[in-house]
Amino acid sequence: MSEQVLVCPSDELKEGTVRVVAIGDVEIGIIRHKGACHAYRNVCPHQGGPVCDGKMMPQVEDVIDANGLFVCQNFKEDDMHIVCPWHGYEFKISTGEHAVDPNVRLKRYDITERGGNIYVTL
Ligand code: FES
């Protein structure tokens, strides 16, 4: 049976920030990105590192010209990642999938904002 747990008032989670909360013996990272909230267990599927304590950064993409030659690298601002601080695995904030292998993913929780507060469903 699922249970909704109050995390914090909505206005305490600013754009582009992460708040790690302990609910019982589970740590969950609550991320606000482009206005939406995302919730993931703070355990990296690689070796158990505190993934939600990592930095957020966009996907880096190579720019290749018409001749197939490398031009430069750009940040892809619409594909934001969180980077595990232990070994650098990157996960898409919008889905929790690893940046390269979508079969590797963070444990995701449903999250809602209601009445000026943020709730996570366990
Ligand atoms: S534990 Fe997260 S990248 Fe290794």
**Which residue range(s) make up the domain with 100?**
4-121
Q: Examine the pLDDT at 2 and tell me if it is beyond 90.
A: no
- The predicted-structure confidence for 41-77, as pLDDT tens digits, reads as follows 999 999 999 999 999 999 999 999 999 999 999 999 8
Q: Which atom of ligand 1 lies at the shortest distance from residue 89's CA?
A: 3
69 Cα–ligand 1 center, Å: 33
Instruction: Report the first-to-last Cα separation within the chain, whole angstroms.
Output: 9
109 strand-pairing partners: 39
Distance 102 CA to ligand 1 centre (A): 16
Q: Which residues line ligand 1 (CB under 6 A)?
A: 44, 46-49, 51, 84, 86-89
CATH number of the domain enclosing 115: 2.102.10.10
What stretch of H or E contains 62?
strand 55-64
The pick from 40, 52, 81, 87 for probing ligand 1's pocket by mutation, whose C-beta has the most ligand atoms within 8 angstroms, reads 87
Number of folded domains that form the chain:
1
Residue 68 is given by DSSP the state S
pTM beyond 0.75, yes or no: yes
